[in-house]
Amino acid sequence: MPAESRLTIAGSDKRPLANAQPMGAVHADETVSATVVLRRRGDHPAIAVDSDSYQPHVREDYGITHGADPNDLAAIEAFAHEHHLTVSERDAARRTIVVTGTAEAIQQAFGTQLQRDTMNGASFRTRTGMLSVPAAVHPAIIAVLGLDNRPIAKPHFRRNHKVTPAATPPGSFTPPQLSKIYNFPKNVTGAGQTIAIIELGGGYRTSDLKSYFSSLKIKEPKISAVSVDGGLNKPGGDADGEVMLDIEVAGAIAPGAAIAVYFAPNTDQGFHDAISKAVHDTARKPSIISISWGAPEDAWTQQARDAMNAALQDAAAMGVTVTVAAGDDGSTDGMADGKQHVDFPSSSPFALACGGTKLTDSGTKIPSEQVWNELANNEGSTGGGVSNFFPIPDYQKNAGVPKNVDTQFAGRGVPDICGDADPTTGYLVRVDGQNEIIGGTSAVAPLWAGLLALLNQQLGKPVGFVNPKLYGLPASSFFDVVTGNNGSYKAGPKWDACTGLGSPNGTAIGEALAGNATASAGAPVS
């Protein structure tokens, strides 16, 4: 029998796990599952957004025109069976097939070697190098995720360790206080909206949520946990701070909205699948997705970035706004190579990237803000900069985004907007039975998610892919932040790579989106 002709999957190269202790090959009989992400059927969905004419795709119909081709699905199933793998899940709309088998069969199917590494007391299955598949199915495959289950992302929250609050300490805020400072619209609660929150660890306790919302005299929103790839609501670890921050900020801003928390493993497979399942969820139908996890762009394989970006493009096409934290480690995004980096998935052109400020309540309608930068005290700084992988989108071409300072690449600028993030002026939340003050750009993503839920209710329809619209709004729609830096980038008038367009003047944004203020049309996204 002639040898099988195989081709490598572009962008699948995986580097060794840094600072890990190799423990040898995985056992041949170990069960391994992988998500195979397929190409779209037909052309890419049009996402040229004009606020007057844009009509989002209907979720239930989207897969018919932009899901996986039935022939591609059949070919991947045949490939799986030929290599003694079972198809444990198939979703044409999401363009995914989950294949499961022994490590020996998986390795032969995808042309790789799996090994076991340990780091900080935890064990991970890893691989290095490229993946390959038979030439016959190669054109259909965008990515194969999950063979390597090392952690891919971290939560972007920062605790204030300088205080032990029994009540709100001076300088910190409850979400309703921030809603007032940022002039969020009144007499709306987010009713009729669902906010999806992506979590890659941790959990929440209903007793804490009841206590928290009761202390704010706010009706507790409807909250549900959704399991993805075996992820569970499992409180008891450090990541609880992220989960509770996200729920409590979004829920306190928009208590009338339902909140669905999608729990997934912290792997490239888990992260992708959580986003994709939230985007395509025809039962809960989220209109907004909040993401407070991420990692430097360079930490991802190209195939994983491509798959995640395609899922975010699906969200934009279906009128779902995705708010994403821009990172908490300044313009380097925590990388030690002496270069500047931005965080992904906030650098996706289909994400609303959320930067951070230090807020001082001046008692006036205009908040006093500067760039959040406590790097000198080892207490974090807002992420921001210019992507090395995603070209500048049309909606930013007139925003004054500079080229990447290291590569001169004309890339996507991060962030788009901002909000209070410095833990010294952070958010009062309740975590594992204790009141805490937490900041980080993690707090800004659910803050904006809550605002968008209010605006969706007020406007009578989802704002959807809002980025092009925001770049076309009057300057009065934002509180411009012009002081400070995040390392290599400085704040200044209008858009900058620390705080984007500025923090929200919520009511003004709503009025402009409704056409009650003079605004130039947003530029479409190519």
Annotated active-site positions, please? 242, 246, 442
| Burial classification of residue 492, based on how many CB atoms lie within 10 Å of its CB (0-12 exposed, 13-18 middle, 19 or more buried) | middle
3-state secondary structure 116-136: EEEECCEEEEECCECCEEECC
Q: Residue 262 and residue 205: Cα distance in Å, rounded?
A: 15
- Nearest residue to 300 (alpha-carbon basis) of 60, 13, 91: 13
**Hey, CA dihedral for 164, 169, 175, 178, is it positive or negative?**
negative
- Nearest residue to 244 (alpha-carbon basis) of 281, 285, 178, 197: 197
Query: Which residues, listed in sequence order, are joined to residue 341 by a DSSP beta bridge?
Result: none
Amino acid present at 70: P
Where are the alpha helices (H) located in 380-482, listed in sequence order? 441-459, 467-470
Q: Residue 510 and residue 494: Cα distance in Å, rounded?
A: 19
Amino acid present at 206: T
**Three-state SS for 511?**
helix
Task: List for the chain the helix, strand, coil content (%; round to 5).
Answer: 25, 25, 50
Query: If you search the block for the tokens 């059949």, which residue do you land on?
Result: 74
Tokens of 414: 């991060």
Query: If you search the block for the tokens 């400072």, which residue do you land on?
Result: 181
